[in-house]
Amino acid sequence: MRFGVVVFPGSNCDLDAHHALGAVLGQPVRYVWHRETDLHDLDCVILPGGFSYGDYLRAGAIAARSPVMDAVGRFAEAGGLVIGICNGFQILLEAGLLPGAMQPNADLLFHCEFVHVRVENPATPFTRLCRSGQVLRLAIAHAEGNYYAPPEALQGLEERGGVVFRYCTPEGEVLPEANPNGSVANVAGVINEAGNVLGMMPHPERCAEEVLGSADGRFILESLLAGRTGR
Amino acid sequence: MTVAEIEAAGAWRDLGLPDGEYRAIVSALGRPPNWTELNMFSVLWSEHCAYKHSRRILKTLPTEGPQVLLGPGENAGVVDVGDPRLAVAIRIESHNHPSFVEPYQGAATGVGGILRDVLAAGARPVALLDSLRFGPLDDPRNRYLMGGVVAGIAGYGNCVGVPTVAGEVAFDAAYSLNPLVNVMCVGHLRRDRVARARAAGPGNAVLLVGAFTGRDGIHGASFASEELSEDSDERRPQVQVGDPFMEKKLIEACLELLERGLVVGIQDMGAAGITSSTAETAARAGTGMELDLDQVPLREPGMDATEILLSESQERMLVVVEPDRVPEVRAVCDRWELNAAVIGRVNGDGILRVRHGGRVVAEVPARLLAEGAPAYDPPAAEPAYLKETRRFSPARLPRPAAGDHLRNLQALLASPAIASKAWVYRQYDHMVRTDTALWPGAADAAVLRMKGSDRAIALKVDGNGRYCYLDPVTGGAIAVAEAARNVVAAGARPLAITNCLNFGNPEKPEIMWQFRGVVEGMARACRVLGTPVTGGNVSFYNETAGRAVYPTPVVGMLGVLESLAHRTTMGFKAPGDLVVLLGETRDELGGSEYLRVVHGLVAGEPPALDLDLERRVQGACLEAIRAGLVRSAHDCSDGGLAVALAECCFTASPGARGVHVKLAPGTARDLRPDALLFGESQSRIVLSLDVSDLPALMRVAEGWGVPAQVLGRVQPDRYTFAVTGGRPGRTTQEVLVDVAVAELERGWRDCIPSLMA
């Protein structure tokens, strides 16, 4: 499995994703500069967290219009795997590769903390090592993670299993008090219809080693590898 | 303004230069300075830049040790942490005045500035810490200040991708009109690649890399060198605006320039912008510079030479490069979409010669500007208030009744100074870079691994104002000792400090007396604990309307762990574990949070500090941790033993969130119960351990000559504090506190969120 981590000038979780995939999971991984347009050597593209262009406009709005995103669009269309994490999720929404939009957190504050998410759809390339309903302890760090989709769109998303993760209590209950940012229906991560583009606010790459407080992110990263051996 | 007009109007006074200093400039130059030159002197000779009132006293701090690779004098201190390849850079700085007039940008640019200081040492910034002090939160203005400052630190630090891993927040009316915002940055660098802030090599090119130069922040350094007043709101235009996205690109580009060996010298453009960075780097190298201001990329047209020279526009670095490497530098900067302009060259005659519009507008010796300001020995006199505060004796306090203890404990836990700071640190990305192995709220210090090294570092920033107000020497020593103790409790050996000294107006003898005392106490503690000072910052004039803040030294402590396995959290781990106190509880209530919160008093003598005992307690704790005997460790500080134990419960593992203290007969001696519970005796650490490890722990304690006392045991969910009196065989038990931990925790957890809602 060959991974590429996209680097915008203001990306700051690029290094973390590279470390988790390369040093921790031992996978071949390279950085993809935001002006690159050739991704043919890759199996999976990571859009990492950070503040791609400062995010002074809307988070991800400028990055969505950068050269590399045209390439990511074509890569996804051809069936390549794409994960947008945090700012990467925001970019995927702005680029129209995933449905919905991001609003500022309900309390208007940045939240950096461990949260719990429930795996709603284990039948994706990103969750195939998870059980349905499994609770993962993952880190969030964002000011704009309040996901929104209009009611009909949300219903469509729900019906096709497009909601992959939902904020929940440690026991797995999806309750308002377990929602850190006001996201509609506690949505923490969504996947496209074709099932190869995932956006999620929590950071699996920050949770790939016990020393960092959780290794639950490996369920997601290693699901990708399990997919390859099964293919 | 012509020279004649300057002389006629005494214009130097309006720029903050006293008559004597103006005369010194005239005599050194052999002529009166022109308007541009006068402005340059007024900033570089300001207290903020020149340390006129502190320089001589700061020389008494110990700055040397085998671990110090680069000491004070440049941008950041560099410390050997025992890794063959990597060293660690540390620096702290204040941004108090800007944060008062514009809290978001004031704090944000404080973060930006300290990041560039560490970058200028050649280091990649890997962590931020912050020490904040505000007035009481029942005043909406203080809530506004705290909300803005925290958001500003978060907005900048989160965006540049440097985690904010630890800090402190304190509250007192003394900071109402002058909050303290001190920010510390820590970086990694290759030990053979320490960058220097020197403009060496005549003929070398001088580049300005980064943001365009605008009219922001002109005379900011002078603003930092005067008292605040009712009119300080008018100073808002002197507060700079931060652009963390630009900073992120600047960091990456400069690190790439350093990595490629393109840099001869590098310095941040902070206070006094182009003037200070050019004069200081030239002075250190014994060179001068030819500067052409027409080459400086400007944000707006029509800026005159003085404005360009004094602008404090953020996100700019001065880089000195060999002339034939300039194209390579440009290529790197282009890739990062950064401007890089050659604005001059190094010369060999020691003169800073500035041209604008084709003519020379300033021509002064670099060394005179950067190092020529006089050093003063200002008079010091003991402040009158001390007669009053020393007169206080805890013996005159009413002895608390049986039911008071729980109420007092709850009051302390739910006071902003002690309450959970999660509302603050949740707004900071403390995990980015995936090195944070102990995060805010988990332990007494942050612990960061270093990828590619077996070693890890521990970081803590800690200050105290109240103790220093009541006794500067003891308070200054405690500031160092407590920061070291925190690092030890997290499992690290203290190595070195950086410090930020926040005081009032040094021209007042009482302030100078406080300053001398604090530095003396810090120097003693640093010597005994083996933690030299690698640099720092003095912030004077923290006064508004004549009222000074408490004398507040803030210590940034760096420690090293030989193994990540030694990292130690504060929370209890398993029911049945023994709870042991290292150190000794004495009858000390002076200067305590208990006195302040419960009795409304800031009085008495702060707790005594026996530095040799402190050293031994830290040694014993560290040895026990390294021997694997310790399951949790937590310093006893604000609020004393009762509060420390509560914090160990709140942060405990599930099922171990309670404690049952049963002090055996005689061990509490004749202590008043409030002194036992809430006194802040120094050199104490609460440990928990498996019962079977007690004998080994006692041997360690004995080996260091440290008192160690079993307090009780960890229990599932209740907080019980009982004292047994009488004689052996005929004992009576008095339960001082017995309450569900959840009930105690509520006030502690909800205090700040509900005040800030």
Nearest CA distance, B252 vs chain A (angstrom) = 9
Nearest CA distance, A213 vs chain B (angstrom) = 7
pTM across the whole model: 0.96
**pLDDT, tens digit, 9 for 90 and up, residues B703-752:** 999 999 999 999 999 999 999 876 666 777 889 999 999 999 999 999 99
User: Is B499 at the interface with chain A, CB within 8 A?
Assistant: no
**pLDDT, tens digit, 9 for 90 and up, residues B143-168:** 999 999 999 999 999 999 999 999 99
**pLDDT, tens digit, 9 for 90 and up, residues B436-457:** 999 999 999 999 999 989 899 9
Q: Look at residue B667 in the predicted model and tell me its pLDDT.
A: 63
**For helices B611-626 and B694-704, what crossing angle results, to 10°?**
150
Residues of B in contact with A143 (CB under 8 A): 158
Hey, which residues 109-128 in chain A have their CB within 8 Å of chain B? 109-113
Instruction: Tell me which of B434, B566, B569 to substitute to probe the interface with A (most A C-beta atoms closer than 10 Å).
Output: B434
Question: Residue B35 pLDDT > 80, yes or no?
Answer: yes
β B340-347/B205-210 pair status = antiparallel
Contact status, residue B287 vs residue B366, Cβ threshold 8 Å: yes
User: Is A55 at the interface with chain B, CB within 8 A?
Assistant: yes
Asked if the ipTM is above 0.90, the reply is: yes
Taking residues B301-314, what's their average pLDDT? 93
- In terms of Cα–Cα distance, which of B170, B172, B186 is closest to B131? B170
User: Is A108 at the interface with chain B, CB within 8 A?
Assistant: no
Taking residues B647-676, what's their average pLDDT? 88
Question: Residue B317 pLDDT > 70, yes or no?
Answer: yes
Instruction: Say whether A54 and B336 touch across the interface (CB within 8 A).
Output: no
SS (H, E, C) B520-542: HHHHHHHHHHCCCEEEEEEECCC
Q: Look at residue A231 in the predicted model and tell me its pLDDT.
A: 35
Question: Residue B545 pLDDT > 90, yes or no?
Answer: no
Beta bridge partners of B127: B186
B482 φ, ψ (degrees, to nearest 5): -70, -40
Q: Is B48 tagged catalytic? A: yes
β B685-689/B578-582 pair status = antiparallel
Q: Look at residue B233 in the predicted model and tell me its pLDDT.
A: 62
Among left, alpha and beta (phi > 0; psi -120 to 50; other), residue B413 is alpha
User: Is A139 at the interface with chain B, CB within 8 A?
Assistant: yes
| Percent of chain B predicted with pLDDT > 70 | 96
List active site positions of A: 86, 203, 205
**pLDDT, tens digit, 9 for 90 and up, residues B374-427:** 999 999 999 999 999 999 988 889 989 988 999 999 999 999 999 999 999 999
**pLDDT, tens digit, 9 for 90 and up, residues A82-95:** 999 999 999 999 99
Question: How many CB atoms are closer than 10 A to CB A168?
Answer: 23
First to last CA, chain B: 51
Contact status, residue B167 vs residue B129, Cβ threshold 8 Å: yes
Nearest CA distance, A123 vs chain B (angstrom) = 29
Q: What does A190-226 look like in DSSP terms, one character per residue?
A: EE-TTS-EEEESSBGGGGSBGGGTB-THHHHHHHHHH
User: Is B248 at the interface with chain A, CB within 8 A?
Assistant: yes
Tokens of A51: 């503040």
Question: Cα(B412)–Cα(B19) distance, rounded to whole angstroms?
Answer: 51
Give start and end residues of each alpha helix (H) in B590-740.
593-599, 611-626, 640-650, 673-678, 694-704
What is the domain-level CATH number for residue A103? 3.40.50.880
B135 φ, ψ (degrees, to nearest 5): -75, 175
Q: Give the Cα-Cα-Cα angle B477, B479, B483 (nearest 5 degrees).
A: 120
Residues of B in contact with A139 (CB under 8 A): 431
User: Is A144 at the interface with chain B, CB within 8 A?
Assistant: no
Q: Is B356 tagged catalytic? A: no
**pLDDT, tens digit, 9 for 90 and up, residues B198-244:** 999 999 999 999 999 998 877 766 666 677 666 666 665 667 889 99
Question: Residue B670 pLDDT > 90, yes or no?
Answer: no
Residue A133 identity: G
For B449, the closest chain A residue by CA position comes to A211
Question: Cα(B725)–Cα(B547) distance, rounded to whole angstroms?
Answer: 47
Domains and CATH numbers, chain B: 196-371 (3.90.650.10), 385-425+568-757 (3.90.650.10)
| Mean model confidence pLDDT for chain A | 95
Question: Residue B671 pLDDT > 90, yes or no?
Answer: no
User: Is A24 at the interface with chain B, CB within 8 A?
Assistant: no
User: Is B437 at the interface with chain A, CB within 8 A?
Assistant: yes
For residue A165, the enclosing domain spans 3-227
pLDDT band at B657 (very low <50, low <70, confident <90, very high): very high
For A208, the closest chain B residue by CA position comes to B434
Residues of B in contact with A215 (CB under 8 A): none
SS (H, E, C) B367-378: HHHHHCCCCCCC
Q: Look at residue B663 in the predicted model and tell me its pLDDT.
A: 87
Q: Look at residue B270 in the predicted model and tell me its pLDDT.
A: 82
For B452, the closest chain A residue by CA position comes to A23
Could you give the C-alpha distances from B235 to A108, B65, B399, in angstroms and in order?
28, 42, 50
**pLDDT, tens digit, 9 for 90 and up, residues B477-496:** 999 999 999 999 999 999 99
Taking residues B588-614, what's their average pLDDT? 96
Q: Domain count for chain A, please give it.
A: 1
| Residue of B248, B436, B564 lying closest to A10 (CB–CB) | B248
| Residue of A16, A56, A113 lying closest to B434 (CB–CB) | A16
List, for chain A, all residue ranges whose pLDDT scores fall below the cut of 70.
228-231
Could you give the C-alpha distances from A198 to A78, A91, B489, B500, in angstroms and in order?
15, 12, 42, 46
Helix (H, G, I), strand (E, B) or coil at B203: coil
Q: Look at residue A85 in the predicted model and tell me its pLDDT.
A: 98
